[in-house]
Structures are given as structure tokens and as C-alpha cells.
Amino acid sequence: MNILKRFLYASALPVVLVAIWWATSSTSTNFFVPKPAPLVSTFVETWVGERIFSDVLPSIGRLLAGVAMAILLGVLCGLLIGSVRWLRELTEPILEFFRAIPPPVLVPVLILLLGVNDSMKVTVIVSGCIWPVLLNTIEGVRAIDSVLADSARTYGITGPARVRHLVLPSALPQIMAGIRQCLSLGLILMVISEMFASSSGLGFTIVQFQRSFAVPEMWSGIVLLGLIGVVMSFIFQWAERRVLRWYHGLREVENAA
Amino acid sequence: MKARKQVLGLAGIAGFLLLSELSSRSGLVDSRFMPPASDIVGALMGNLVHHKFWIAAGQTMQAWAIGLAISLVLGVLLGFVIGSSTVLRRLTNSTVEFLRPIPSVALIPLAVLLFGVKIESSLMLIIYASFWQIFIQVLYGVADVDNIAMQTARSYGLNSLARIRHLVFPTTLPYLMTGLRLATAVALILAVTAGLVIGSPGLGREIALAQSGGAVPEMYALAVATGLIGVGINIAMRKVERRVLSWHSSVRSEAIA
């Protein structure tokens, strides 16, 4: 009963929306308005087949590579900068400035420095996505519970063991918040780096459709980007629940008390 | 204490400028593509006395402000309406979770087809991106209203308008401010991106023009200018937040510490 109710709640609005879309678009002759059934068939025609290997998978590969590097670099530098006070004070204004630069601005800059190739696109993603991870890690490291830090010191836990058992777990909720922003930013940058100057990839293909007025194909590309975003967000939520299970449990207990 | 922090911060900026100046002058990086810092600062200063620069900056900021205002109104209204009803919240949850992760840049081709290179296409991207930031936070905030406080308000006979004014709104305000801070940053990113990729008027387009025209220091100067605008927005938002939430415990505890 409960599951049925939840299913109804989750599916009612999407069904109504699709029905409205179906009803209004079936009589419409507007060139720009997509129709549900043709959109699905165009989607399959356009993206299932050769394009997956020539455009979609390389794009996703670059995205994952960029995001993974940004997370790794961000967490490592964040741990270092967060634990050393003079380093933090020295770098803070610079980091504030770099974070505030809208990341797409880096695309033309990096095209000059690296040319138009895969490493440019991955660098765009890394240099744009690293800031939320880096700054959140710094904040997380700074906000370590002082009682815990003192206890660790009393027990003589230092060096790698301290990072592994004290610093990383304390900073993890903040780091995950940063990674969440990093993922959505990464997807945006992947598309922009391909739209701006490229001859392959998802972003390029969609702009190509738009320029040649292949409207249904363009819509199917938009849908594909949306699906990638949704899938990434679901995977992230699943991973976050696993990684931070202890944290959410702790919060629940604290709130109940 | 504060002086030490400022001195170190300034030293960090000076060190960074010196490093980039030296690495360019010494030929470590190609100075055609990565001009020395003094050239970039020079170009930036040159921009400040130019009419063109201020017009472009004004256009970017205009799109930013209008887009932000519209998404603020929409986000707050819808957030309050949907957030205060459990049924509505459950009904819309799946749709919201599906629409939110769609990257705003996926709408670029659509914006080009619908509006061309006018300010409307920037607005469409800005509103789509920043609306979700505000809407989701308001939704969380409205759901966070303390049950006992709500029952107290009811038993004192506060009508629904008074309850919103004296209970729901103050509870939501910290969440709303967080959403607004995120939205201001995202809106700037999209305002610049629209110029860069679509070519709608503003700093983004100037950067793309400078890059394709080979005016390298100029391009860097414009990128730095967008960063400075971003820093300015961040500082202003922090001021606003501190002022609006001066009664809230998160700000009060900050003042003591």
C-alpha cells in the first residue's frame, strides 16, 4: 500500500505533464515544438549506434577524467592548505579570486595555451571544478572538532594516521558538498568546451544540429544531456549515502536527542 | 591577528603576480600566449578608461540582475506555495529531482533558435540555472519550520498570513540567503557564458572577440575583470547576508568568535 502510494505520488505529475505536452503539441504546427513520439524515435535514431562511440562516450570519458583529477587535486591541496595556517592565510585572497572567475572564461584562455585538443578540454574541466572541492576541503579541515583533535594528539596519533582517521572523516561531509557542485559544474564545462571550439563531442554535435536547423535532433541532444545530468546526480546521491552513512546516522541521533 | 592575515594575504597576491611576471619574462612559458602580469594589469587599466569596456560590463551585469530578480521572485513564490503543502511537495518531488540536474547549457541551442544573440537568450539560461538554487533552498527552509513553534502559533490564533510573516519566513530566511548566494555566482557564470558561446552582448562576447582577434593581454584583462566582478559580488553578498541574518545564531556566534 505504502509503496503503491509513493509510486502514485512520484508518477502522477510527470504523467500529467507528458499528457498535456502530447495534447498541445499534436495539433501544433510550430517548427520548434517537439512532439513526444517523434522525439523518442529521433532520440533512438540519433544517439543509438555509431554516435555513442564517436561523440557520447569520449565526452563522458573526458568529463570523468576531469572530475576525478579535480577531486583528487582539490582534496590533496585542500588537506595541505587547510592544515597549515600560514599557507592558508597566504593563499586565501588568490584562491578567492580564482574561484570567482566564471570557469567558462578559461576556455578561450586554455585554447591559446594548449590548443584545441583533449587535454585542453580536460584541463578546462579540472581548472573549473577544482574550486568547490578545494575550498570545501579547506573549510572542512579547519572546522575539525577541537576535542577530537586534542584527543588524537594525546593518543599520539600523528602523520598519515591522523589524516586517515581524524582529518579526512571530519572533513568528508564538507568535501562531499564540494564534489556535488563539482559534478554539475563539470558537466557544464564539458559542454561549453565542446561548443566553443571542437569538431566532435556532445556539445559540438548539438550545436551542429541547431545550426543546420535539425530541430528534433537538437531536442534529442538536449534530452540526452539532461539524462546524463540526472544519472550523475543519482549516482552521486547513492555514493554519498554510502560514504556518509555514519554522518547522517549521527545527525539523526543528535536531532532526536 | 587580523593584520598578520592581511599582510600574508597581500604577500600571497604579490608573490603570485611576481611569479607569473617572471615565468613569462624568462621564457618559461610562451609570452605570446601567457603575457607577463604587468601587461595584463596594463591592459586592464587601459580598459577602465574605455567606454566600450564599461558598456560591455554593464550589459553583463544587466542580464545578471534581471535574471536573478526574476528567478528570485519565481523561486520564493513557488518555494513557499509548494513547500507549505505536503501533498504538493510529494507530487512535485520526482519532477523537480528530474529537472534540476539538467545542465543549463543544454538550453543554449534552444535559446539561440528562440532569441538569437539578444539579451533574452542570456536571461533564459540565467533564470533556468539560478531558479533551482533558490527554489530548492526555500523548499528546504519551509520544511524546516519547528513543529512546536507552528502549533504554538496556531493556538495563539495567528492566521495563515501572520504565520508566514512571523514564523515561516524567518525560518526560511537563512536557507533563502544561501540559495541567493549560490544563485548570484551561478548567474554570473551563465551571463558570461552566454556572451562567450552565443555571442549575446556583454563581457563574454568581448572575451571571445579578443581571443579570435589575437589580442592576448586584452583577453586576459577581460577574464581578470570578470573575476574581480565575481569577487565583488561575493563580498557584497556576504555583507547582505550578515546584515539580513544579524539576528540568526550562525551570524551571532561568528561575531563572538
B2-41 residue pLDDT tens:
778 788 888 888 888 888 888 877 777 777 777 888 888 8
pLDDT of residue A257: 54
Taking a C-beta distance cutoff of 8 angstroms, is the pair B137, B175 a contact? yes
In this prediction, residue B257 carries a pLDDT of: 40
H or E segment and range at residue B176:
helix B169-193
Interchain pair B13, A13: CB under 8 A: no
Q: How far apart are CA A47 and CA A121, in angstroms?
A: 22
Please list every residue in chain A whose beta carbon sits closer than 8 Å to the beta carbon of residue B191.
102
Contact B103 A191 (CB under 8 A): yes
Q: Within a 10 A sphere around the Cβ of A161, how many other Cβ atoms?
A: 12
Whether B33 and chain A come into contact, CB under 8 Å, resolves to yes
Q: What is the mean pLDDT of residues A152-159?
A: 87
Q: DSSP secondary-structure letter at B246? A: T
Residue B254, chain A, CB below 8 Å: the answer is no
The 10 Å Cβ neighbour count of residue B125 is: 28
B36-62 pLDDT per residue, tens: 888 888 888 888 888 888 888 899 999
> Which chain B residues are Cβ-neighbours of A32 within 8 angstroms?
110, 113-114
User: What's the Cα-to-Cα distance from A245 to each of A172, A173, B20, rounded to whole Å?
Assistant: 11, 10, 44
pLDDT tens digits, A118-154: 888 899 899 889 998 999 999 888 888 888 888 988 9
Nearest CA in chain B to A92: B9
Any idea what DSSP says for residue B102? S
CB contact under 8 A, B223 and A90: no
Give every CB contact of residue A92 below 8 A, 6+ residues apart in sequence.
Answer: B5, B9, B12
How close A91 gets to chain B, by Cα (Å)? 6
**Largest Cα–Cα distance in chain B?**
76
pLDDT of B135: 93
Average pLDDT over every residue of A161-169: 86
Give the number of other Cβ atoms within 10 Å of residue A55's Cβ.
22
Average pLDDT, chain A: 84
Give one DSSP letter per residue of chain A, joined into a string: -HHHHHHHHHHHHHHHHHHHHHHHHHS---TT---HHHHHHHHHHHHSSHHIIIIIHHHHHHHHHHHHHHHHHHHHHHHHHHH-HHHHHHHHHHHHHHHHS-GGGHHHHHHHHH-SSHHHHHHHHHHHHHHHHHHHHHHHHHT--HHHHHHHHHTT--HHHHIIIIIHHHHHHHHHHHHHHHHHHHHHHHHHHHHHS-SSSHHHHHHHHHHTT-HHHHHHHHHHHHHHHHHHHHHHHHHHHHHTHHHHHHHHHHHH-
Query: Measured between alpha carbons, how far is B234 from B245 in angstroms, rounded to an integer?
Result: 16
Q: What is the pLDDT of residue A76?
A: 93
* Per-residue pLDDT at B75: 94
Report the gap between the CA of A181 and the closest CA in chain B (Å). Answer: 10
Q: What is the pLDDT of residue B256?
A: 45
pLDDT in tens, A174-221: 899 889 889 988 988 888 888 877 777 888 888 888 888 878 888 888
* More confident site: A111 or B66: B66
Q: Is B114 on the interface with A (CB under 8 A)?
A: yes
ipTM more than 0.85?
Answer: no
Q: Does the beta carbon of B220 lie under 8 angstroms from any beta carbon of chain A?
A: yes
Chain B nearest CA to A106, separation (Å): 8
- Tell me which of A47 and B142 has the higher pLDDT: B142
CB-based contact, A81 to chain B, within 8 Å? no
Chain A, 172 to 191: residues with Cβ < 8 Å from chain B are 184, 187-188, 191
Please indicate if any CB of chain B lies within 8 Å of the CB of A1.
Answer: no
Sort out which chain A residues have CB atoms less than 8 A from B204's CB and list them: 104-105
Nearest to B227 among A90, A101, A210 (CB): A101
CA B34, B39, B42, B43 dihedral sign is negative
Q: Give the mean pLDDT of A78-102.
A: 87
Neighbour tally for A68: CB within 10 Å: 15
Check residue B158 and give its pLDDT.
87
From first to last of its 257 residues, chain B has per-residue pLDDT tens of 577 878 888 888 888 888 888 887 777 777 777 788 888 888 888 888 888 888 888 999 999 999 999 999 999 999 999 988 888 888 888 888 888 888 888 888 888 888 888 888 889 999 999 999 899 989 888 888 888 888 898 899 888 888 888 888 888 898 899 889 889 988 998 999 888 888 888 888 888 888 888 788 888 888 889 999 999 998 999 899 888 888 876 665 554 44
Query: Is a pLDDT exceeding 90 seen at residue A233?
Result: no
CA angle B121, B83, B123 (to 5 degrees): 10
In this structure, how many other beta carbons lie within 10 angstroms of the beta carbon of residue A32? 12
Torsion angles phi and psi, residue B200, rounded to 5: -75, 150
**pLDDT in the model for residue B76:** 93
Closest chain A residue to the Cα of B113, Cα to Cα: A210
Q: Which positions 115-154 of B are in contact with A (Cβ < 8 Å)?
A: none
Whether residue A3 lies within 8 A of chain B, CB to CB, comes out as no
